[in-house]
Amino acid sequence: MSELTVAATQMACGPDRDENIARAEKLVTHAAERGAQIVLLQELFETPYFCKDTEPGFLHLALPVADNPAVRHMRALAYRLGVVLPVSIYERTNNALYNSLVMIDADGEILGVYRKSHIPDGPGYKEKYYFSPGDSGFLVWNTRYARVGAAVCWDQWFPETARILALKGADIICYPTAIGSEPHDPTIHSRDHWQRTMQGHAAANMVPVIASNRIGREEGRTCEITFYGSSFIADNTGKKVAEAGESDEAVLTAQFDLDALRRARLEWGVFRDRRIDIYGELLTLDGTLRHPAHR
């Protein structure tokens, strides 16, 4: 199938897990009614964003994939509606905890699990307390409708993430997100920077990008964050073709011709002309290559 309709969603999250899952189901259903075949929900939508503070009790929110109620619910929903659902969860496996994304195909089957690679740590976003760095590598899945690549929130600021997903053949890149105000500096409003970064990934890799962010004001023990929504869909040139507001629940859709996008990526030459023989500095922290004998 060449024609693909995708959807981005955004919503506020309250303290009741079941209510959040039900609200997410409503948005997915609305998107499917509008023809969406791939529907993206925001990061960690089962709960409020608990990473505002370091609280040991929140560690127990993590569950194995097989025991997670959102995964079970969304698998049944994907099967019933015939839609692909990338689902963001807090995953526990033995004694390890990850910020993970479960890729659910349109038949309800789990295709695999991506674990967030880049873990932030700053005022209001204390994720290193809750999550280990992901060990899955960057993944692209053959879903019923398209080859879908996905990463999670802070991953979206790194061009390497999007480039690897594109190199692996992604037709679409999905970024579930939880981002808003900066508790330490109320003058910072990163929405435009956030959007432009991902628009650049779409343009540089000639792959459409879907970003779903949460909305609402959430209070923690030490700070509060107002999440600024602004979920969007960008085409393969980086142009925003659908965008939500900062505070309203929303479902966005956009349609793409996958065959046309694949032809454009091939013919434009950005992958043909890559020079992997001179990119060694990308594998260093300071941009300096050192001969082994001089270390």
Instruction: Per residue of the chain (295 residues), give pLDDT as tens.
Output: 599 999 999 999 999 999 999 999 999 999 999 999 999 999 999 999 999 999 999 999 999 999 999 999 999 999 999 999 999 999 999 999 999 999 999 999 999 999 999 999 999 999 999 999 999 999 999 999 999 999 999 999 999 999 999 999 999 999 999 999 999 999 999 999 999 999 999 999 999 999 999 999 999 999 999 999 999 999 999 999 999 999 999 999 999 999 999 999 999 999 999 999 999 999 999 999 886 654 5
The dihedrals phi and psi of 254, each to the nearest 5 degrees, come to -155, 150
Strands of 110-115's sheet in order across: 85-93, 96-104, 110-115
Strands of 38-40's sheet in order across: 38-40, 3-10, 250-257
Catalytic residue from among 46, 153, 218, 240: 153
Give 35-57 pLDDT, tens digit per residue: 999 999 999 999 999 999 999 99
86 close to 75: Cβ distance less than 8 angstroms: no
The continuous run of DSSP H or E covering 140 comes out as strand 140-142
Amino acid at 102: V
Whether the model pTM is above 0.85: yes
- Whether 13 is catalytic is no
Catalytic residue from among 46, 91, 116, 127: 116
String of DSSP letters for 85-136: EEEEEEEEETTEEEEEEEEE-TTS-EEEEEE------BTTB-GGGT-PPP-S
Percent of the chain scored above 70 by pLDDT?
98
- Whether 43 is catalytic is yes
Q: At what angle do helices 159-167 and 191-205 cross, to 10 degrees?
A: 30
Catalytic residue from among 43, 46, 91, 127: 43
